[in-house]
Homo-oligomer: A and B are copies of this chain.
Amino acid sequence: MGHMTAATTQRTRMPPEQRRELLLEHGVRLLATRSLEELSTELMAEQAGISRGLLYHYFANLQDFHRAVVRKAVEDLVAITAPDDGEDLLGVLERSLAAYVDYVVANRAGYLSLVRAANGGDEELRVVYEQARDALTGRMFERAAGEQRIDGLTALGHADTPATRLMVRGWASLAEELVLAWAEDPSSMTREQLIAALAGSLVGALNAVSG
């Protein structure tokens, strides 16, 4: 009883943005093992211990909540897979891909449901999805202004052309399909083989447009 009172007191003292953020974090955690359709107000009430009213205090409706959860999940993915400062650029690529593989394995249900929702007619989720793909692949073409460090693609011997951009976009679909299928049934190869296959297929695909 004392604990409940403390929690309630704590809740009322929390600034609104922070409470909204906590609801989103809870949604992201629940989405890891569930589809968007399963992420209902009832589930949030049950799992996060909040009333339906509280959720609708911060989000206009369930779709609005879903979109905010997906946006946050995608921000997490982009952050988790950020390339490090290593000198060996193939190594940088492989570590980023390893983080992507681990993310999809840990969040397969939610990630799959995002991919499907983005393809299935929710235009706002499609925009979020395409922005995420652009963020994930666009980094390969970025150069830190004023720095000597070159990007992965340049290191692999490819210029930033519309043709390489198109191929990287195609390869992103390959990577997504491969990792989702492997996460469902990892019997065909080890995690290390998968990461090597992802990096190697990018190199091979880029050679096919520049050659």
Contacts and interface: CB of A to CB of B under 8 A. Distances in A.
Contacts of A177: 169-170, 172-173
Interface residues of A, number: 41
Given A120-B116, A120-B120, A174-B171, A188 B166 contact: yes
A78 to B, nearest CB: 20
Interface stretch (A3-11, A39-47, A69-77, A202-210): A202-210
A64 B167 CA distance: 37
Interface of A, secondary structure class, is: helix
Contact of A173 (B174, B188, B203): B174
A162 interface: yes
A189 interface: yes
Contacts of A173: 173-174, 176-177
Contact of A166 (B121, B169, B189, B200): B189
Interface in A173-192: 173-178, 181-182, 187-189
